[in-house]
Each structure stands twice: as C-alpha cells, then as structure tokens.
Copies of this chain bind each other. A is one copy, B any other.
C-alpha cells in the first residue's frame, strides 16, 4: 500500500469517496431528479461506470450520500460538552452548536430539503439513521431537567419541541436565504449579521424556557 500521494492509479476507497463527495454537491444543488449521473462522473477522475460498480445506480448513490451526511452531522453534535455549564449557558451553547453546524454545512441543509420534497421516502429505507438522531435530543433533555430541578426553567417543556425551535431558526436562515434575499434584500448569511442572529437565537430559547 503506497502512501497517499494522489498519484495512485487504482484505489477503490478513494474512487468511492470521490464519487460520494461530488454526488453530495450534485444532489444538494440540483435535487434527486435534477442531478445527472453523467455530470457526477464527469466531475471525478473516474467514469460513470464506477457509480454502477460501487453503488449499483443513481438511487443507491443518493442513499449513500444521505447516510454519510447524517452520520457526519451527528458526530459533530456529540462534541458539545455542556456538563460543566449552568443550565442557561448550556442551552445557549447547544443552540450555538446547531447554529454553527447548519451554517457550516449548507449541502446537508439542501439534502434535507431534497429528502422532504420526496416525503422522506428514501430516508425510511435507511434504518440506521434513526438511531443516530436521538443523542442530540437526549443531551438537551438532560439540561432541561437540570434547569427545572434548579428552579430556573418551566416544567411543561418538551425537549423535542425545543430542539425543533432551535432547528427551525437555524435551518430557515440557511435554506431560505435566496428567496429572502430576493424579496427583502437581506442576506441572512451576511458575516456582519452572524453574531446578531446567534445571540438572538440564544435569547429566544432561554426567554421561552425561563419561568
């Protein structure tokens, strides 16, 4: 096995990864039916034939893209360490992790949109995805419980609802930036406004939770 100098002529792993990388962008940008198998292949070192060799077809390639994208995102979420923070700061921190994450992964956001456009019918075929997604909410639930025990938070809040509240804000900002820009002439991803929105999200969530 030679070192990864980028000059190898045959490398199954690299060919697979390269196809996934390009396919992620292509599916995210053009949707499932809009993505072109020929176009994906053309953007790699390899040929269309390899898509069928490694994945079986367009649909299975899309499935592989989706699964990898979710796996990456949940791995990132697990890095948040909020055990040492007081409940209010911890909630703020968790919201910020989601905020940062959505902003840094526009392709993932687009894929979620693509998948919803198809009634998540592909996602249902990837059972593994469901397992991956509980951790984020579990972490949030612990913090909410702690906040309630300390008399800081309301009792009647559901962790999944709070997660939805956070996600919707972060998702919208990235997903709808183009129509928002066209209709209101405001760039939601303008770096100058970033801190403003990040703070706003924290205020929003903690304001809702406070007794």
Contact = CB atoms under 8 A, between A and B. Distances in A.
Interface string A173-211: 101111111111010100000000100100110011010
Given A113-B116, A208-B204, A133 B172 contact: no
Question: For A118, A123, A176, which residue has the most chain B Cβ atoms within 10 angstroms?
Answer: A176
B124 A182 contact: yes
17 contacts: A30-B117, A34-B34, A112-B176, A113-B117, A120-B178, A124-B182, A130-B182, A130-B183, A137-B184, A161-B197, A164-B172, A164-B180, A165-B204, A167-B172, A168-B173, A169-B169, A203-B208
4 shortest interchain CB distances as A-B pairs = A168-B172, A120-B178, A33-B34, A207-B207
